Structure 1
Amino acid sequence: MAAPMASRRRFGAGDLNGVLGLVVDNLSLLAFMATALIGIFGMPADLVFRRMFPGTALGVLLGNLAYTWMAHRLAARTGRQDVTAMPLGIDAPTTIGMALLVLGPAFVGYRQAGMDAMAAGEATWRLGMASLVVMGVLKFVLSFFGAWVQRTVPRAGLLGSIAGIALVLMGFLPLVEILRVPVVGFAGLGIVLYALVAKRRLPFGMPGVLGAFLVGVILYYGLGPAGLLGTGYHAPAGWQWRLGFPWPSLGFVQGLPATLPYLPLILPFGLLMVVGGINVTESARAAGEDYPTRDILLVEALATLVAGICGGVAQTTPYIGQPAYKAMGARTGYTLVTGLVIGLGGVFGYLSNLVELLPVAVLAPILVFVSIGITTQAFEATPLRYAGAVVFSFFPAIARMVAIKLGDPSIVDPAHFAALYADGTHGVSAMAVIVILGNGFIITSMIWASFVVAMIDGHVRKAAGIVALGGLFTACGLIHSVQPIGSVYLPWALDVASQSLVWQFVAAYAALAAVLLLLSLDRWNVRRA
């Protein structure tokens, strides 16, 4: 019998942990977007904070409200009081990609065409809105096929792909930021591990994330002004109220023509979010919450669409880590409060101040914990015999992390990137391989894990078919794109050198598929004891 809704705890210490973790995740991405657009490309700060932030934050608000309602509905249907809502927020890979590969370069191009800074910023903003609408429409259409993908791809492929993201992008990269201000970050990380991994009680029953946050802030603002943190301390700017209302607008219509050169980037961004949404739904199901895949994807798509129409430039996505939030004790209150904090912050402008006030070293420890939880689940929720497939699926994410963190302009500048191919004494240079392996890494991880699972189960012909599918994806750049920015293409439209690279990687998949077909013959297809 379902428990009465009134008897269910609406908000507790675990939800406070969840709020801090989810708010921190969104704040860190907003901070990156602002730093890139304002600091690197010189876009007017007022336009970023008053135009782009409010619409983006509105998508987070609406998505989290919908996921909160879905969690209450699931709790009412099952009679359980421990249901944890699916977290939703701004997507990390596409926010980084939109800022560095679409919005920033577009703004520079408008400036070089003779526009003043504000006019160029307005045009860039409309491009960002249109990009979100395009991604939202694509996600809406594909959401109706999500359940089929979930039934087709083995759990090791779904969970392994997001565990790779968690380990290296949500875990290792924040750890680097923590150790850039080690006195602050490492203390906070230790408290998170003490409270949430070792499951020890903090004084006065304080939630672990809150304890880590308070200690980090005290250390940062206590030691920093005295010069005891070296170059890790930066004095905050004064508080400013930056009001901005996310009114619906047809500005995206004006921006649609400008999206055409960027469609090879924009469409894969949307596709990856559908794949990621399927994966995180499977992750929640493994943790005990059976949310309908189609509904999770539809909410994601509609939140992105509304955000784009109302001025947002960064798409929303259900976050990986629902089991980690469940382990914190978060239930349904944390998504409701997070949505309100982020959504209202975009309107009243305090998000921009928080972005400027809170250092990454204070915010990052919770991300490391979430990455630990996700990676652990990938092994706990799949049979032990598939552990090798899960581990194998990590490698594309590691390649993506290396390409991001090196920070070498030759990795993203096409002129320099082309020279990398010539540097290889024997075949393709190692640097080019790293970037190519990392492009499309989520789908690559799913394919790699899936064909290994098929081999483990003795379905060698099926494994050959999965590998052949990988070859088709490689041919058009959906995975292993030879373009430095990871865009898709028609292989015959590339220059000769790039075509040569594409066909080498396609041939590699074809060769492996042929080998597996030979091994599938009855006389060979016997598993060792």
Structure 2
Amino acid sequence: MHRRWLTPGDLNGFLGLVVDNLSIMAFLSTALIGIFGFPADIVFLRMFPGTALGVLLGNIAYTMMAQRLARRTGRQDVTAMPLGLDAPTSIGLSLLVLGPAFVGFKQAGMDAHAAGEATWQLGMASLVIMGVLKTVLSFFGAAVQRHVPRAGLLGSIAGIALVLMGFLPLVEILKVPLVGFAGLGIVLYALVAKGRMPAGLPGVLVAVLVAAFLYYVFGPLGWLGTGYHQPPAWQWRFALPWPTLQWIHGLAYAAPYLPLIMPFGLLMVVGGINVTESARAAGDDYATRDILLVEALATLVAGFCGGVAQTTPYIGQPSYKAMGARRGYTLLTGLVIGLGGMLGYVSNLVELVPLSVLAPILVFVAIGITVQAFEATPMRYAAAVVFSFFPAIARMVTIKLGDPTYVSSEHFAALYNDQSHGLSELAVIAILGNGFIMTSMLWASAVVALIDGRTGRAACILLLGALLTSCGLIHSVTLAGGVYVPWMLAAPERTMVWQFVSAYGVLAIILLLFSLQRAKPEFAD
């Protein structure tokens, strides 16, 4: 039977998937170059080629898996699993790991290029660590789901979405409101309200085209003030993503960031399980382990070849299926993004599209992830989901207050260490935000256990929190947020550690005592 590789629906799927990937690469470059002053040549010639290679290989593999499934079942309507760069972790990695690390390297005396090289090595090492973790966990995905409640997994990622993917991009939108607000409105109309677009075009594409039109028409006229920047000239950038061992040098830099890096990998495993179940419900029965292994290996290869953003199977395979996409859209996306990262046209495209144009897409993704956390979690656990947001909010406040353009590093350190009236408010906010993803998972898991009447389990989770706190995997008391051996710390940091450890421990003991109570008798009405 003749099987067509490309259908009209594949073109729609391709436009949606390629724009998603371009927007994440654009945010990655804009955040590093525009916010932190990162050297552009390292982003475009070192980071982009390897990152794009992961998208290329992953999409080719998913296309072949779909073709194999179609051949085995004899069905023509099999839709490939969409794969691309993960938005929450790519944004989190750029804002929480790579950017701050670059600033730290410069403060340590490195020049901008040397600091950029060290940060690139850190990014590669982070990707390799996540790839190894995902490869191992791909064989134990079901066990992860059993032991970490959905409220903890989805709540923690929703916290990232709400404050990092939602609020911070919304600020970028309102920096150029004429452009960004129009794009945001179109995204909300098309994707949230399900409004119809002219000629059936994808809503994301229309939003980008309209916002870019406004930017390049009104910008030169002076209507956008200092929000308009003349785009750079088109440059020929050719760089092949050769395997390199420079990621090994980055392992030493990665240690302080493990509380962020490891949960990012864990979240992708659970997300991969969920999206595979979603595809199965839509009629395409992919093997969960195969889906997870492909994206884990794609992440590993990207890290070995200079990439700094991990790949993931995207939520929404049934949506691509509904628009008529089959197997060709993933192959096209992989080729366009993969070759674009090597030949340089992707870097030129992201330079042409300002953040105010792309930010509405990120706000929509943030809305979708946050809504999903509540929709996919039983209503009785809503309080656990909400409770898991607080550490992410603390992290966002720390990011802003830790920006030396707002508060000097010396003044920030002085406020942090001021214990004249107990722990300073700034220290509490920073400590709550350090390791916030794992903290969110623990807090939500404990609340879920309490709601289920499993008070002893909640106490055990809190004891685990005390252990993680003691070594800085959560609630790190160092300004850099690193891990440590508690008895090696000097005062006042050692005192702060034991305060937080004992807080978890005392609450765990109280809950254990509560769990010994005889069950309350129930009386018939």
Give how far 1:89 is off.
0.9
Give how far 1:435 is off.
1.7
Tell whether 2:174 aligns with 1:179.
yes
CA shift digits 1:472-493 (9 cap, x unpaired): 1111111111223322221112
Pick aligned residue for 1:256 from 248, 252, 257: 248
Match runs of 1:308-323 below 5 Å: 308-312=303-307, 314-318=308-312, 321-322=315-316
What's 1:25 paired with?
24
Instruction: Give the gaps of 5 or more residues in structure 1.
Output: none
Tell me if the contact between 1:417 and 1:484 (Cα under 8 Å) persists in the aligned partners. Answer: no
CA change 1:93–1:385 in 2 (3 A) is same
Pick aligned residue for 1:280 from 265, 271, 295: 271
Aligned-partner Cα distance in 2 for 1:98–1:279: 22
CA change 1:209–1:130 in 2 (3 A) is closer
What's 1:208 paired with?
203
Partner amino acid, structure 2, of 1:420: L
Give how far 1:422 is off.
3.9
Tell me if the contact between 1:18 and 1:330 (Cα under 8 Å) persists in the aligned partners. Answer: no
Instruction: Give the gaps of 5 or more residues in structure 2.
Output: none
- Give the secondary structure class of the aligned counterpart of 1:30: helix
- Count how many residue pairs are aligned between Structure 1 and Structure 2: 515
Between 1:172-181 and 1:335-344, the stretch displaced more is: 335-344
Aligned-partner Cα distance in 2 for 1:496–1:410: 29
TM-score for both structures, normalised by structure 1? 0.85
What's 2:91 paired with?
92
Tell me if the contact between 1:403 and 1:411 (Cα under 8 Å) persists in the aligned partners. Answer: no
What's 2:396 paired with?
401
Tell me if the contact between 1:396 and 1:437 (Cα under 8 Å) persists in the aligned partners. Answer: yes
Partner amino acid, structure 1, of 2:24: D
Give how far 1:244 is off.
0.9
- Give the secondary structure class of the aligned counterpart of 1:478: coil
Tell whether 2:444 aligns with 1:449.
yes
What's 2:470 paired with?
475
Tell whether 2:190 aligns with 1:195.
yes
Tell whether 2:31 aligns with 1:40.
no
Between 1:154-163 and 1:292-301, the stretch displaced more is: 292-301
What's 1:161 paired with?
156
CA change 1:162–1:75 in 2 (3 A) is farther
- Give the secondary structure class of the aligned counterpart of 2:85: strand
CA change 1:157–1:286 in 2 (3 A) is farther
Give how far 1:401 is off.
2.0
Between 1:336-345 and 1:409-418, the stretch displaced more is: 409-418
What's 1:13 paired with?
12
Give how far 1:498 is off.
1.0
Give how far 1:167 is off.
1.7
Aligned-partner Cα distance in 2 for 1:98–1:216: 30
Aligned-partner Cα distance in 1 for 2:57–2:462: 39
Aligned-partner Cα distance in 2 for 1:48–1:81: 39
Aligned-partner Cα distance in 1 for 2:494–2:314: 35
CA change 1:324–1:178 in 2 (3 A) is farther
What's 1:348 paired with?
343
- Give the secondary structure class of the aligned counterpart of 1:88: strand
Aligned-partner Cα distance in 2 for 1:190–1:81: 33
Pick aligned residue for 1:510 from 505, 509, 524: 505
Give how far 1:305 is off.
2.7
Identity, % of aligned positions: 58
Aligned-partner Cα distance in 2 for 1:219–1:527: 65
Partner amino acid, structure 2, of 1:273: F
Give how far 1:322 is off.
4.4
- Give the secondary structure class of the aligned counterpart of 1:374: helix
- Give the secondary structure class of the aligned counterpart of 2:24: helix
Match runs of 1:61-76 below 5 Å: 61-70=56-65
Give how far 1:320 is off.
7.0
Tell me if the contact between 2:79 and 2:321 (Cα under 8 Å) persists in the aligned partners. Answer: no
CA shift digits 1:183-226 (9 cap, x unpaired): 00111111111111111112222221111111101100010000
Between 1:400-409 and 1:206-215, the stretch displaced more is: 400-409
Aligned-partner Cα distance in 1 for 2:52–2:358: 19
Tell me if the contact between 2:26 and 2:351 (Cα under 8 Å) persists in the aligned partners. Answer: no
Tell me if the contact between 2:121 and 2:249 (Cα under 8 Å) persists in the aligned partners. Answer: no
Tell whether 2:486 aligns with 1:491.
yes
Partner amino acid, structure 2, of 1:256: I
Pick aligned residue for 1:369 from 358, 364, 368: 364
Partner amino acid, structure 2, of 1:17: G
Aligned-partner Cα distance in 2 for 1:519–1:410: 49
Aligned-partner Cα distance in 2 for 1:479–1:472: 9
Pick aligned residue for 2:518 from 514, 519, 523: 523
Aligned-partner Cα distance in 1 for 2:306–2:199: 43
- Give the secondary structure class of the aligned counterpart of 1:61: helix
Between 1:489-498 and 1:262-271, the stretch displaced more is: 262-271
Aligned-partner Cα distance in 2 for 1:151–1:127: 32
Aligned-partner Cα distance in 2 for 1:67–1:503: 49
- Give the secondary structure class of the aligned counterpart of 2:10: coil
TM-score for both structures, normalised by structure 2? 0.86
- RMSD between superposed Cα atoms in Å: 3.5
